[in-house]
Structure 1
Amino acid sequence: MRITMDVREVRRLADDLGDAGPRVEEKVKDITERIGHDVVRSGQVGAPVDTGHLRATIGVDIDPDRLGFEAGPTASYGGHVEFGTLPHEIRRRPGGPRLHWVANGTHHFRERVWHPGTAPQPYMIPAFERHVPQAVTAMARAAGDIL
């Protein structure tokens, strides 16, 4: 009795799997880039608007290897809006004008004031939370399609 085995299909499968890594990685890079831009758009839509400066500074930096990204505003106060602030003292700058505001038609001038703090107004975290599940699903689908 003679038993034969044909391993050509196994070799083809091994070759296909060997090619899969770079193909999956390329798809993941495309997905990462797309999701980064989607997060920016959602952050811009969700950002509170007073002057529009915060919204205008929201952007994305894609990592050089295209496997990650960082998205958010470059406005210095972006984190204060996202997370809020605790009560704090505000002092005038040395040599600068006294702090000025108008309340009930009365002008007030002070060297320092106590700010009551601000409530958080999240806009970037919800944007990430909205798109991360889409990224995971898209990456799993891409890997499944290739494998």
Structure 2
Amino acid sequence: MLHGSNEINRLANDLTAAPLKAQRRATTALGKAVKDIEAAAKTLAPVDTGFLRSSISSDVTVRGSAIRGEVGPTANYGAYVEGGTRRQRAQPYLRPATDMIVPRYEDAVAQITEDLL
């Protein structure tokens, strides 16, 4: 139960600040997740010359309330290595890395949500 206008004002301020705090925490969590996926993908990527591995990078962008994370290679043959071709078997590196890290990211987002409620 709230008593007095100071507590009501504090609650109003907390509620007003909640979306920004949540976005900052979500951006941090996504940034960690994409860096972890990048590191795992580099470890899992097959190496011939090392170009594919060295071309894997990650990025997080924020536009308004939208947060976007990307991880992948710039090597033009990265998708062929990941998925295979008629002549070459698949050597997945990005999907397994993502599968390893996403549950931790989902836990972090759940914690952010829980903390806000």
Q: One fold, TM greater than 0.5?
A: yes
Moved more, 15-24 or 32-41: 15-24
2:55 to 54, 57, 60: 57
Distance (whole Å) between structure 1 residues aligned to residue 20 and residue 84 of structure 2: 43
Unmatched tracts of structure 1, length 5 or more: 87-116
Q: Which has the larger radius of gyration?
A: 1
Shift in Å, 1:67:
1.4
- 8 Å CA contact retained: 1:57, 1:73: yes
What residue identity is the alignment partner of 2:15?
L
Normalising to structure 2: TM-score of the pair?
0.84
How far does residue 144 in structure 1 lie from its aligned partner after superposition?
A: 1.9
Deviation for aligned residue 1:64: 4.0
Deviation of 1:60 (Å) = 0.9
Residue 93 of structure 2 is aligned with which of 88, 105, 123?
Answer: 123
Please report how far the alpha carbon of residue 18 of structure 1 lies from its aligned counterpart in structure 2 after TM superposition: 2.3
Within 2, Cα distance between the matches of 1:145 and 1:125?
A: 30
Unpaired runs of 5+ in structure 2? Answer: none
Q: Percent identity?
A: 35
2-side partners of 1:12 and 1:27: how far apart?
A: 21
Which residue of structure 2 lines up, in the alignment, with residue 133 of structure 1? 103
Superposed CA deviations along residues 24-50 of structure 1, whole A, max 9, x for unmatched, are 111001111111111100000000111
Higher strand share: 1
How does 1:37-56 map onto structure 2 within 5 Å? 37-56=35-54
Are the aligned partners of 1:23 and 1:146 in contact in 2 as well (CA < 8 Å)?
A: no
**1:21 corresponds to which of 19, 36, 49:** 19
- Once superposed, what is the RMSD of the aligned Cα atoms? 2.1
TM-score, structure 1 normalization: 0.68
Q: Distance in 1 between matches of 2:68 and 2:36?
A: 14
Higher helix share: 2
The amino acid across from 2:107 in the alignment is T
| SS of match in other structure, 2:85 | coil
- Residues 30-109 of structure 1 correspond to what in structure 2 (within 5 A)? 30-65=28-63, 67-86=67-86
